[in-house]
Amino acid sequence: MSEERVGVYVCHCGSNIASVVNVEDVAVWAKEELADQGVVVARDYKFMCSSLGQELIQDDIKEHGLTRVVVAACSPHLHEKTFRTACNRAGLNPFLCEMVSVREQVSWVHTDKELATNKAKAMIAGGVERVVHHQPLEPLHVPINPATLVVGGGIAGIQAALEIADSGFPVYLVEREPTIGGHMAQFDKTFPTLDCAACILTPKMVDAGAHPNITLLTWSEVERVDGFVGNFTVTVRKKARYVREDVCTGCGICIEKCPVKVLDQNFEAGLGYRKAVYRPFPQAVPKYPVIDTENCTYFKRGKCKACQIFCPTQPNSIDFEQKDQFIQIQVGNIILATGYDLFDPRRIPQYGYGRLANVFTSLEFERLCNAAGPTNGDIVLRDGVTKPKSVGIIHCVGSRDRRYNNYCSGICCMQSLKFAHLVKERTGADVYNFYIDMRTAYKDYDEFYQKVLEEGVHFVRGRVAEVTDAARKPGEEGKLIIQVEDTFIGKQRRIPVDMVILSAALQPRADANEVAQKFGIACSTKGWFIEKHPKLDPVATMTEGIYVAGCAQGPKDIPSTVAQGAAAAARVLGRIQMQELALEPIRASVIEEKCSGCRICNDMCPFNAIIFHEDRMVTEINPALCQGCGTCVAACPSNAITGTQFSTEQIMAQIEGLLMFNVEGELIREMAYA
C-alpha cells in the first residue's frame, strides 16, 4: 500500500479525448483499481486546463491532502506548466505532478474505443506508479550574461544586432564573409516597393559597423560553443585577412594594383570578377580588403607583393605573415541568422543552365540589373552587349518538386514579378512568366502583380518542360525555345526567347547540419533550423538561449526576415532583463562511486553537457547544460547515471503500470503494489 495520496484527473478535451476514450469509465476505474497504488480521488472533467479544472485540483490537494497528482490529458509540451503551477498554488511542489498524454498517444491515434480506453487505463496506471517515486525539486537559478552572439550578418543578423545594441547591450556579430550584408547586398531593387536594395541596406550596415555596442567579427567563423544558456563560451576563428585592420584606411589602392583577376563565384554569382585582394563591393562593411590566398601570386609563387608595394599607409597595412586568430567570447544568448543558399539549377539539366549561354539564375540576373554589377546595370545577353528582345522567366526551379525541394520557396513568384518589371522597364522586351500557381500573399504583393499585368507581361500557367536550342521550326533558329503546356488552353507551346531566367529555390545552407550540431539545435531533414513551436514560438529553439532568425529557419522575404530578426532580439532582451534564469531541475547526474570512467557517455550528449575529469577518472554532468534528455542514463553500462524524475526506479514502475493489458486488450497483470 502506497503511503502517497494520489489524485487522478482525466480530461475530455472537449471531444478530442472523450470521443474515443470512455473517460468516465477510466476515472471510476482509477479510483477503484488503483486505490492500492495510492489513488484517493479520480475525476473526469470537460477541460482540465480551464480555471475551473485547475481549481478542482487545487481544492482536492487541500481537502484530500493529496501528495501527488496525475493529469491524463494532452501532451506535457502544451500544459505541463499549467498543472504544475496549479499544484504550486495549492502548496504542492510542482514536480510532484505527472502528465499522461491520452490525447496525442491515445485518442488521436486509435479508433477502437474499447482498446483505446484500456490503453488509457494502462498509461494512467503507469503514471501513478511512477509519480509516487517523484521527488520535490527546486528550479535551478543561473545568472545571464548580458552579451549576445549573432551568427550571420545578413539582413536578419544585422537587424537583430542593431535592436539589441540600441537597447544598450553588447553584441558580437560574426560573419564568415569579408563583409556583412548577405544576399540582400547583391540585389538591385526589392519587391514590392522597388526600393533600391543598397539604399535601404547600407545605412544599416554602416550603423552596425560603427555601433559602439557591436563588435564586428567578419571573415570569421564560430569554432566551438561551450556552456549553456546565460553563460556560453564561444570560440571564434578570425581568419587571417592579411590586411591590418588597425592601420588600413580602405583606400583600395591595393585592389587597383593587384594583377590577379578572379572569377567571383560568391558576391557576383559567377558573373563578374574581383581581384586576389578584394572587397566584395564598394560599400562593404568593414571597408578592409581580404587577400584570397588561393589565387594570390605571392602565396602561390612567393613573388608579386604589388599590394604591399603600393599600400600608402605607415606602417604598411598588408601583412603576409598574419595567422588565423582564435578569440573567446562570453555571451548569454545566441541568435543564428545564417540565411540560405541558392538551389543549383545545373541539377535540372533540361533547363540548360551551364550549357546554354543565355540561361541565367536569379542571382546572376540580380547582378546583371545592379548598377554596381558587372554590366553596370545593363540587362544584356551573355555576350555582354546584346539587349534581349524577349525574356522568359521560369518560376519554381527546384521548388515544389519532390525530386529536389518539396516546399514552396515563398519568394520566387514575387521575385519573378520583380524581374518581369525590371526587364520591361529597362529593355522593353517581351516578357513571359511561367508559373504553376501565382503566390502573392501578404501586403501589397498582389497589387504588385496587378501592376506587372498592366505593363503587358505575358503569363503562361504551366511548369516549363524544357529549355532547348534544338530548333524545330523556322523562327526558332538561334533562340532558346521554352517548351511548356499552356494549361489554360491545354496545348503544348514552344516560345522562342533570347534570355531565360531561372527563379531558383532557396535552400538551407550546405553546412546547416554542422552548424546546428555545433550549437546543439535541431535541423529538419532538409536542413532548416527548427523553431520551438511553428506558430507560437517561431524564433526560439528547443535549446535554451539559442534563437533563430531569417531564412536559416525557412525561406522567407525581407519583411519577414527583418521581423524575425527583431523578434529574436526582443526575446533575448527579455532574457537579459531577467538577469537570472530559472531552469527545469530535470537533470542527469553521475553517482561518482559507480562511474568506471569508461567514457562511453562522453560523446553522446547532444547538449555537450558531459565533462570528464582526467585526474579522478570520473565523468560529471553540468546541470545547467543538461536538458534531461536521458541519453547518457541509458548508455551508462555501470548504471552510474540517474536522471532526476527519470531514475531507473521510476521508469521501471511506469513500465509495470503500462503492462497491464496485452495487445488484445486482456488484463494480463493485476495491479499490486510493487
Partner 1 sequence: MKYTYYPGCSLEKNASAYHDSTMAVAAPLGMTFQEVEDWNCCGAVEMMAIDKMQAYALISRNLALAAAQTPPGQRMVAPCSACFLNLSKCDAHLTKDPSLAAKVNQALAAGGLHYTPGRVQTRHLLEAVVKDVGYAAVKAQVKRPLYGLKVAPYYGCLIVRPGFLEKFDDHEYPTSLDVLMRALGADVVDFPMKAHCCGGHMTQISEEVALGLIYRLLKNAADYGADVIATICPMCQLNLDAYQENVNKYFGTNFRIPILYFTQLMGLAFGMEPTRLGFGKEFIDAAPALNKIGVEPPERSKPERPSKDALPMPVMPEKE
Partner 2 sequence: MTITAFPTEAVARAPRTFMQEVIEDTPGGNPRLEMCIQCGTCGGSCPSGPDMDYSPRRIFAMIEAGMREEVLRANTFWYCVSCYLCMVRCPQEVRITDIMYTLKRKAIREGYYRDSSASDAPDFSETFVDAVMKYGRSFELGLATRYHLRHHPLDAIKLAAGMGLNMLRRGRMDLTPRRINNLDQLHAIMDKAKEISQAERAQIGGGA
Ligand X SMILES: Cc1cc2nc3c(=O)[nH]c(=O)nc-3n(C[C@H](O)[C@H](O)[C@H](O)COP(=O)(O)OP(=O)(O)OC[C@H]3O[C@@H](n4cnc5c(N)ncnc54)[C@H](O)[C@@H]3O)c2cc1C
Among 317, 362, 433, 619, binds ligand SF4 (CB under 6 A): 317
Q: In what helix (H) or strand (E) does residue 346 lie, and over which residues does it extend?
A: none
d(CA 446, CA 409): 17
The owner of cell 529538419 is 524
Q: Which residues pair with 235 in a beta bridge?
A: 224, 328
- Of 328, 333, 431, 446, the residue nearest 389 (C-alpha): 431
Q: Which is nearer to ligand X, 342 or 636 (CB)?
A: 342
Q: Which is nearer to partner 1, 492 or 648 (CB)?
A: 492
Among 131, 150, 260, 414, binds ligand SF4 (CB under 6 A): 260
* Contact yes or no for 18/53 (Cβ under 8 A): no
Copy the grid coordinates of residue 660.
497491464
Neighbour tally for 165: CB within 10 Å: 22
- Does the protein bind partner 1 through residue 667 (CB under 8 A)? no
* Contact yes or no for 137/645 (Cβ under 8 A): yes
List the single partner that 646 binds among ligand SF4, partner 1, ligand X, none, CB under 5 to 8 Å by kind: none
| CA 176, chain centre distance (Å) | 18
Per DSSP, the three-state class of 523 is strand
List the single partner that 463 binds among partner 2, ligand X, partner 1, none, CB under 5 to 8 Å by kind: partner 2
Q: Report cis status (omega within 30 of 0) of the bond before 259.
A: no
* Contact yes or no for 307/277 (Cβ under 8 A): yes
* Contact yes or no for 436/396 (Cβ under 8 A): yes
- Cβ contacts of 183 within 8 Å, gap of 6 or more: 154, 339, 340, 363
Residue type, 177: E
List the single partner that 436 binds among partner 2, partner 1, ligand SF4, none, CB under 5 to 8 Å by kind: partner 2
Q: Report cis status (omega within 30 of 0) of the bond before 192.
A: yes
Q: Which is nearer to ligand SF4, 304 or 467 (CB)?
A: 304
* Contact yes or no for 393/429 (Cβ under 8 A): no
The DSSP bridge pattern shows strands 499-504 and 231-238 to be: unpaired
List the single partner that 258 binds among ligand SF4, partner 2, partner 1, none, CB under 5 to 8 Å by kind: ligand SF4
- Does the protein bind partner 1 through residue 249 (CB under 8 A)? no
Among 270, 559, 585, 665, binds partner 1 (CB under 8 A): 270
List the single partner that 556 binds among ligand X, partner 2, ligand SF4, none, CB under 5 to 8 Å by kind: ligand X
- Does the protein bind partner 1 through residue 385 (CB under 8 A)? yes
List the single partner that 464 binds among ligand X, partner 2, ligand SF4, none, CB under 5 to 8 Å by kind: partner 2
Among 136, 168, 354, 534, binds partner 1 (CB under 8 A): 354
- Least distance CB 356 / partner 1 (angstroms): 9
| Rg (alpha carbons) of the chain, rounded to whole number | 31
Q: In what helix (H) or strand (E) does residue 23 lie, and over which residues does it extend?
A: helix 23-33
- Least distance CB 398 / partner 2 (angstroms): 10
- Does the protein bind partner 1 through residue 374 (CB under 8 A)? yes
Stretch that binds partner 1, among 117-125, 382-390, 483-491, 574-582 (CB under 8 A): 382-390
Among 35, 253, 523, 600, binds ligand SF4 (CB under 6 A): 253
- Least distance CB 554 / ligand X (angstroms): 10
- Least distance CB 262 / ligand SF4 (angstroms): 10
Q: Which residues pair with 435 in a beta bridge?
A: 461
- Least distance CB 320 / ligand SF4 (angstroms): 7
- Of 258, 305, 299, the residue nearest 279 (C-alpha): 258
CA dihedral 602, 608, 610, 613 (to 10 degrees): 80
- Least distance CB 201 / ligand X (angstroms): 9
Stretch that binds ligand SF4, among 70-78, 180-188, 248-256, 502-510 (CB under 6 A): 248-256
In Å, the largest CA–CA distance within the chain is 94
Stretch that binds partner 1, among 186-194, 321-329, 334-342, 344-352 (CB under 8 A): 344-352
- Least distance CB 20 / partner 1 (angstroms): 32
Q: Which is nearer to partner 2, 190 or 405 (CB)?
A: 405
Site for partner 1 in 155-214 (CB under 8 A): none
Binding site for partner 2 (CB under 8 A): 350, 396, 400-403, 436, 461-466, 483-487, 490-492
- Does the protein bind ligand SF4 through residue 318 (CB under 6 A)? yes
* Contact yes or no for 377/283 (Cβ under 8 A): no
- Does the protein bind ligand SF4 through residue 252 (CB under 6 A)? yes
First to last CA, the chain: 9
Binding site for ligand X (CB under 6 A): 151-157, 174-177, 182-184, 187, 190-191, 221, 337-340, 342, 362-363, 366, 411, 415, 418, 509, 515, 550-551, 556-559, 561
Helical ranges in 132-267 per DSSP H: 155-166, 197-210, 253-257
Q: Report cis status (omega within 30 of 0) of the bond before 508.
A: no
Among 471, 522, 523, 652, binds partner 1 (CB under 8 A): 471
Sheet containing 231-238, strands listed edge to edge, beginning at the edge strand earlier in sequence = 220-228, 231-238, 325-331
Phi, psi for 569 (deg, rounded to 5): -60, -40
List the single partner that 260 binds among ligand X, partner 2, ligand SF4, none, CB under 5 to 8 Å by kind: ligand SF4
- Least distance CB 574 / ligand X (angstroms): 22
List the single partner that 317 binds among partner 2, ligand SF4, partner 1, none, CB under 5 to 8 Å by kind: ligand SF4
* Contact yes or no for 548/569 (Cβ under 8 A): no
- Least distance CB 374 / partner 1 (angstroms): 6
d(CA 95, CA 586): 9
- Does the protein bind ligand SF4 through residue 373 (CB under 6 A)? no
Among 276, 457, 505, 566, binds ligand SF4 (CB under 6 A): 276
Q: Which is nearer to ligand X, 290 or 311 (CB)?
A: 290
Helical ranges in 99-141 per DSSP H: 113-131
- Does the protein bind ligand SF4 through residue 254 (CB under 6 A)? yes
Interface residue list for partner 1 (CB under 8 A):
263, 265, 270-273, 346, 348-350, 353-355, 357, 361, 374-375, 380, 382-385, 468-472
Interface residue list for ligand SF4 (CB under 6 A):
243, 248-254, 258, 260, 276-277, 289, 291, 296-298, 304-307, 311, 313, 317-318
